Amino acid sequence: MKKFTKYFIGVITGAVLMFSVAYTPDYFEISKQLDIFTNIFKEVNLYYVDETQPGELMDEAVNSMLKSLDPYTNFIPEERVEDFKIHTTGNYGGIGASIRKKGAEVIITAPYEGFAADKAGLKAGDKLIEVDGKSVVGKSTEDVSKVLKGAPGTKVELTIDRNGEFLVKKIEREEVKVKSVPYYGMLDNGIGYITLSSFTEKASREIKQALKELEKDNELKGLVLDLRGNPGGLLSEAVNVTNIFIEKGKEVVSTRGKLEEWEKSYKTLNSPEELELPVAVLINRGSASASEIVAGTLQDYDRGVVIGQRSFGKGLVQQTRKLSYGAQLKVTIAKYYTPSGRCIQAINYAERDEDGSVMKIPDSLRTEYKTANGRSVYDGGGVDPDIVIEEREMGNALVSLYRKMLLFDWCTEYARTHPTIADPKSFKLSDEEYQEFLAWLGKQDFEFQTATERSIDELEEIAKKEKYDNHLKSQLAALKKAYQAMEMDDLVAHEEEIRILIEDEIVSRYYYEAGRIAHSLQSDPEVQEAVNLLGNPTEYMNVLKLVKD
């Protein structure tokens, strides 16, 4: 208890010092609440009838407090600090493979090209049985990830199940450097393509290198910058990436918080790499934070056309503050604003309903701003694309195939029986192979429930309670049978999407993540729209032109 009390006092002292240096709030109220909390904590741990766990109680108290603010203000205990660093650097020590849980099993879903797991011969679909002689069956992916990671140069022994054959792999961990740019290449008509998965500290450097490689053997006529599904990252890298396309000295983003020190303007510091090259930026609802800064700023300066769906709407800035005993606090310290003056934050966490829930800002309350050419843009709900491409719907069957890893499992079997396939841009699943998949699927535990089916089940239950089940038995049975037949039609209706996902997964087994992306671009409507637009300079300029009444 003495050890914990010392720790607790250190945390509280650090918190008070943090406030005293940066801000002058109501010190009496803060001291009063800290005193009440300290006394409650002490009394509970001393007198509660059962044995308490002070550390767990403190975690619960801190996390509940921060949860009431916003989802991005988090306490990072010492043991998770290293994981947090991975998100900002993209580097860690480990075997270099992604894993996923399926029932009680942990499955290797993708060894990273050229890293330890790949060099040791691990394959997608391998089931992890033991790590260093200890079973991992039933363990969470988080727990398994912890034991797979470690200092570069240390060794780990894995026992895997590959199609019923148990194999032992001794692997030396190494530094894994996850690329911010997992793929770049040329599309049709001299249009280049670069996808950015995250804004780590090397994001802008990797984009510049990709541009140089694309320009080496090609006459670039335009560039597609794909930020779809990019959750963001470092604010400084958002500025650096934007700087590649706009001139030196331009404001990229400004921040405003309740403290004067957060009133900052971030401007480009370097000469641009590509000031005139036509650019199309792809976004979707998974594009957030730094992605929205880049897309919104290029849009504000009419420097590029934004294509896709409305972005996530995260206009908040976080900073990490060091705490005692190696812990850290990631805290929201400001909102950010694009050059036109808009903040794209979609939710006001300061205003909550009585039940504590928050709501997105309705479109009717969004404020209009103007781009450099006078085009209308709006705050309070993410970045709206200049050209909207409706998101492809995922049928219930497709969602179930993904969740149950049935597409993944079939592709694992396919890879075991096909030593080679065509290159990523050429590979196609034949009609015969697709029929083989459907036949295989018929032997699996494949079922899914839609809202309609749930309603039928509820109707049956209500009929039983109200004693109408005998009268309605035949009708309900006929309704369920008719619906089940329609349910299978979902597979037929979404055959194209299912084929694409199968092909993407198969290609990744032979050509890794870069191959998966290269193949997926062949049937990507947003990419095709971008290629068509960039290939038509007049239409491209018309989208960006000054709007006149």
Choosing from 226, 300, 384, 504, the catalytic residue is: 300
Smallest Cα–Cα separation from 222: which of 546, 543, 547, 548? 543
Q: Are 111 and 122 in contact (CB under 8 A)?
A: yes
Which amino acid makes up residue 227? L
Residues 128, 132, 138, CA angle at the centre, nearest 5°? 40
CA 87 to chain centre: 11
Measured between alpha carbons, how far is 209 from 218 in angstroms, rounded to an integer? 14
Q: In what order do the strands lie in the sheet with 305-308?
A: 183-186, 191-195, 222-226, 279-283, 305-308, 387-388
Report the length, in residues, of the chain. 549
- At residue 388, φ and ψ (nearest 5 deg) are -90, 130
Inter-CA distances, 60 with 3, 16, 283, 330, Å: 19, 20, 36, 17
Per DSSP bridges, beta strands 279-283 and 97-102 are unpaired
Choosing from 123, 127, 202, 314, the catalytic residue is: 314
Measured between alpha carbons, how far is 519 from 425 in angstroms, rounded to an integer? 5
Q: Is 102 helix (H, G, I), strand (E, B) or coil?
A: strand
Measured between alpha carbons, how far is 200 from 197 in angstroms, rounded to an integer? 9
N-terminal to C-terminal alpha carbon distance within the chain: 73
Residues 327, 331, 334, CA angle at the centre, nearest 5°? 155
Choosing from 198, 254, 289, 340, the catalytic residue is: 289
Smallest Cα–Cα separation from 375: which of 281, 447, 306? 306
Residue whose token pair is 């709006």: 378
Measured between alpha carbons, how far is 496 from 341 in angstroms, rounded to an integer? 42
Measured between alpha carbons, how far is 32 from 347 in angstroms, rounded to an integer? 31
215-253 burial by CB neighbour count: b if 16+ within 10 A, else e?
Answer: eeeeebebbbbbbbbbbbbbbebbbbbbbbbbeeebbbb
* 314 has catalytic annotation: yes
List Cβ neighbours of 17 (8 Å cut-off, separation of 6 or more). Answer: none
Residue 194: strand pairing partners: 184, 225
Q: What is the DSSP letter of 337?
A: E
List Cβ neighbours of 311 (8 Å cut-off, separation of 6 or more). Answer: 283, 284, 285, 287, 288, 291, 292, 295, 344, 382, 383
* Dihedral over alpha carbons 12, 14, 18, 20 (to 10 degrees): 70
Measured between alpha carbons, how far is 519 from 426 in angstroms, rounded to an integer? 8
Q: Which residues are catalytic?
A: 289, 300, 314
